[in-house]
Amino acid sequence: MELQYLVREPETITPSTTLLVLLHGYGSNEEDLFSFAPTIPEDWLIVSFRAPHNSHYGGYSWYDIDLMNVENRVDVPQARQSLENILANIMSVSNRYGLTDNQTHLIGFSQGGIISYALALEYPELFNKVACLSAYPEEKIMPNMVKDKKKLEHLRFFISHGTDDATVPLEWGRKAADLLYDLSCFFSFREYMNGHGVNQKNYMDLMDFLRK
């Protein structure tokens, strides 16, 4: 499935141009994280994908969520299909622009962050910097998670969460620190005084992470 997306192209594109992939949250769309573009390095290629499913409350989703089913709240087959779609679309974009010697970074918010964990930990060879905002690692959707620490050592994670997040509880977000620590991944885990969103300090720290 070819996903719809927004793109910001740099003035010059070479085989080593950095690609940044943006994955929005449940009920949102490709315009959400694309608002980050003005403060992202100008020589990067930015692609913000739209999720393939309509959500129950408007906007789009990477997979359905059943809030009444505590044990199986995630539609795992849909999530797995979205992972495959995103990978195929990243490859398509890379081929279209002739990116053969570049770095590929991910930023995902909420459900997009959950998807970003799965992408990075199942296909670590494809990614470099990974920012997961207001999310948590859902191990049910990444059965093939790589545990070979040598294959993960080049990844850099930026994890952020609001202390008053009522949508994805902070304790869920903290699972990431335990998981990434066990995998010996390089990561920064930061908590901010806000709810389910990205406040100014969070945003500034994220931009610092991308530039370093």
pLDDT tens per residue, the chain (212 residues)? 799 999 999 999 999 999 999 999 999 999 999 999 999 999 999 999 999 999 988 899 999 988 666 667 899 999 999 999 999 999 999 999 999 999 999 999 999 999 999 999 999 999 999 999 999 999 999 999 999 999 999 999 999 999 999 999 999 999 999 999 999 999 999 999 999 999 999 999 999 999 98
Structure tokens belonging to residue 155: 């990844």
- List, in order of start, the domains of the chain with CATH numbers: 5-211 (3.40.50.1820)
Which helix (H) or strand (E) segment holds residue 206: the answer is helix 200-211
Query: Three-state DSSP class for 73?
Result: coil
> Tokens 């970003």 label which residue?
116
Nearest to 27 by CA among 8, 54, 7, 1: 54
